Amino acid sequence: MLPIKNPKPDIEHFIKVAKGLELPNKVINGELKVDDDLLREICETVFHRVWVDRQISDLTLRAKYWDNVIHIFYHLGYDFVRAGRAITFPTKSRITEDTSIISENDRVWVEEGEGAITDWLTYESYPWPNPEDVDIWDYVYVSEHLPKGMGLMVGPSQGLLEIVVNNLLGFTGLSYMMTDDPELVDKVFERTGDILYKIYERVVNATKCYGFFQGDDMGYNSGLMFSDRFLRRLVLPWHKKLVDLAHANNLIYILHSCGNLRKIGKDLIEIGIDVKHSFEDQGYAVKDYKDDYGNQVTIMGGVDVDKLSRYSKQDLSDYCQGILEHCMKNGRYIFGSGNSVTNYVSIENYFTMLETGMKFIIKENDKS
């Protein structure tokens, strides 16, 4: 069934489903990311095209990278392409071997201890990115080169909490600083949030994007990384500002956030997100989230990445069928992986997930 020879993407329908204005007329697909290693394998073995890694300095090669990405997503039946990070915040990290058999790169792990900022002196000397200098060429190129019917979703950076925890303060550093110097914590969040907001303003003005697809992991399987009170004070207000910016420009806001977020489930609805993404069976399974919030927000994903990578073809198809039968009820559901399609997921399993969605028949009682 894949690849699709003559796709018929419909970003307008996708947006209406995301907003809860229309019921899906078929299973609609959505992903935060498909790993470049897997995209390369698909590009070369399925489409027989020459893969080009994304280049920073050579715009011709960068364009060829995006041409391949667009071609793949188009012929796999997606309505949008998400262009990701345009900005990074310098930090400490640990580098190790990537054990995926198709990877040609290393894996980079976050340093969880102290971050790049430990006091007011390092705050002042930190090389803060200038939003006006951020390279947004990718967003402009993709928005101008999508096939008819496809749309662009943008996510210029990691999320606010992720940047502060992973790059600036460190998990341990932030934990101590909340007591030792709460004023500095507030300042770091404020400055980081302001940078992200200004980058989004630039992207909105420069592209024909259809929505923000912003990641910001806030939890573990067992619960939140930080207290719900902390998140309500320092993190969620910035997401609310981005939601408002998106809606003011007639765009949607998709929030990708990993972990068991039960304690702030209502808060996410109240700040106005259109779509909630990222689910893991051991933490907060997509079926449970559908039961809790399926009438209040559109849900994306839910195919547990562990099962997506390990299950046999038949077991995976049966598992995906169960998710679709549960989550397609009353609409407001977009099908895909629970997090992202990693480089240790086989092409066969990835295509099995998509083809299960293609074969799924929407029942009459799912349309009401």
DSSP E strands in 93-222: the ranges are: 93-97, 106-110, 151-154, 211-215
Percent of the chain at pLDDT > 90 equals 89
Q: Is residue 1 part of a domain?
A: no
The CATH number of the domain holding residue 51 is: 3.20.20.210
Cα separations in angstroms, 182 against 39, 172, 185, 208: 43, 14, 5, 40
**Confidence band, pLDDT 50/70/90 cuts, at residue 98:** low
Query: What's residue 368's pLDDT?
Result: 53
- Residue in 328, 252, 253, 243 with CA at minimum distance from that of residue 286: 328
- Asked whether residue 135 carries a pLDDT value surpassing 90, the answer given is yes
Residue 181 DSSP symbol:
-
Q: Is residue 5 part of a domain?
A: no
CA–CA distance, 368 with 365 (Å, rounded to integer): 6
Query: What's residue 95's pLDDT?
Result: 55
93-97 and 106-110 beta bridge pairing: antiparallel
Q: Is residue 100 part of a domain?
A: yes
Domain with 28 in it: 11-366
- Asked whether residue 367 carries a pLDDT value surpassing 80, the answer given is no
- Summarised one tens digit per residue, pLDDT across range 307-317 is 999 999 999 99
- Asked whether residue 103 carries a pLDDT value surpassing 70, the answer given is no
Cα separations in angstroms, 293 against 30, 248, 265, 322, 332: 19, 24, 8, 18, 10
Q: Report which of residues 15 and 88 the model is more confident about.
A: 15
Query: What's residue 279's pLDDT?
Result: 97
Cα separations in angstroms, 344 against 38, 94, 281, 298: 8, 20, 18, 28
Average pLDDT score, the chain: 94
The answer to whether 218 and 261 have CB atoms below 8 angstroms apart is yes
Q: Is residue 278 part of a domain?
A: yes
Q: Is residue 214 part of a domain?
A: yes
- Average the pLDDT over 176-202 and give the result: 97
- Average the pLDDT over 115-139 and give the result: 96
- Average the pLDDT over 113-141 and give the result: 94
CA–CA distance, 206 with 216 (Å, rounded to integer): 24
**Confidence band, pLDDT 50/70/90 cuts, at residue 91:** confident
**Confidence band, pLDDT 50/70/90 cuts, at residue 363:** confident
Query: What's residue 104's pLDDT?
Result: 61
What's the number of domains the chain is made of? Answer: 1
CA angle 153, 213, 334 (to 5 degrees): 85
What are 24's two structure tokens? 């899906």
- Average the pLDDT over 319-340 and give the result: 97
334's enclosing H/E stretch is: strand 333-334
Percent of the chain at pLDDT > 70 equals 93
Q: Report which of residues 330 and 277 the model is more confident about.
A: 277
Q: Is residue 333 part of a domain?
A: yes
- Asked whether residue 301 carries a pLDDT value surpassing 60, the answer given is yes
**Residue 95 β-bridge partners:** 108
Angle between helices 36-45 and 347-359 (to 10 degrees): 80
Min mean pLDDT across 79-88, 108-117, 235-244, 283-292 is at: 108-117
Residue 164 DSSP symbol:
I
- Average the pLDDT over 80-93 and give the result: 84
Residue 170 DSSP symbol:
-
Could you give the dihedral angle defined by the CA atoms of residues 271, 277, 278 and 282, in that order, rounded to the nearest 10 degrees? Answer: 80
In sign, the C-alpha dihedral spanning 174, 271, 207, 337 is: positive
pTM of model > 0.85:
yes
- Average the pLDDT over 260-287 and give the result: 97
- Average the pLDDT over 266-284 and give the result: 97
CA–CA distance, 340 with 336 (Å, rounded to integer): 8
205: number of Cβ within 10 Å: 9
325: number of Cβ within 10 Å: 13
- Average the pLDDT over 5-26 and give the result: 97
What are the DSSP calls for 120-144, one per residue?
Answer: HHHHHHS-PPPGGGS--HHHHHHHH
- What phi and psi, each to the nearest 5 degrees, are found at residue 39? -60, -40
- Average the pLDDT over 338-364 and give the result: 95
Min mean pLDDT across 101-110, 160-169, 309-318 is at: 101-110
| Residue entry with tokens 């969620």 | 236
Query: What's residue 170's pLDDT?
Result: 95
Q: Is residue 342 part of a domain?
A: yes
